[in-house]
């Protein structure tokens, strides 16, 4: 099987163990730990795992935005000032966008807590 618009093959786990590649790219970031555990034997001959952990980075950015945004006293005057404060408007937009992106992908509160990002909620 090949990745769409790419020439990189997607290999069956048994074939990966036979080939013992130098690098193994893990695309489903949400099961990286599981894949590493299932393929722990590959690290002895020197296979290195590369995980594309975009969502974990997004969660980290989301946690930072939440800490800095909600550290402020949010009241009616604060909300009314958003028309004049592009920096705050952008921060709110970033928070809502990232939060929605993660929720659309069905990440739950326990998942965030497991990743040490429970403070998002």
Instruction: Give the tens place of pLDDT for each residue, 81-90.
Output: 888 988 888 8
pLDDT by residue (tens digit) across 17-54? 888 888 888 877 667 788 888 888 888 778 888 876 66
Query: pTM of this prediction?
Result: 0.45
- Measured CA to CA, the distance from residue 6 to residue 21 in angstroms comes to 19
pLDDT, tens only, 96-117: 887 777 776 655 555 556 655 5
Q: What's phi and psi for 97, nearest 5 deg?
A: -65, -45
Compute and round to an integer the Cα radius of gyration of the chain. 20
Cα separation of 41 and 69, whole Å?
44
Domain ranges in the chain? 13-51, 54-120
Report the alpha-carbon distance of residue 52 to residue 29 in Å, rounded: 6
Whole-angstrom CA distances from 36 to 26, 32, 48, 91, 93 are: 9, 6, 10, 35, 35
Burial category of 81 from C-beta neighbours within 10 Å (exposed 0-12, middle 13-18, buried 19 and up): exposed
């Amino acid at each position: 099987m090949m990745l769409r618009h790419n020439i990189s093959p997607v290999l069956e786990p048994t074939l990966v163990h036979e080939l013992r590649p130098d690098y193994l790219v893990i695309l489903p970031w949400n099961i990286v730990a599981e894949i590493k555990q299932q393929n722990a034997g590959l690290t002895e001959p020197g296979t290195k795992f590369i995980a594309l952990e975009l969502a974990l980075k997004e969660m980290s950015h989301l946690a930072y935005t939440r800490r800095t945004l909600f550290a402020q006293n949010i009241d009616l005057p604060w909300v009314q000032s958003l028309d004049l404060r592009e920096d705050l408007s952008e921060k709110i937009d970033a928070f809502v966008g990232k939060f929605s992106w993660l929720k659309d992908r069905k990440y739950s509160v326990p998942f965030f807590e497991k990743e040490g990002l429970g403070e998002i909620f």
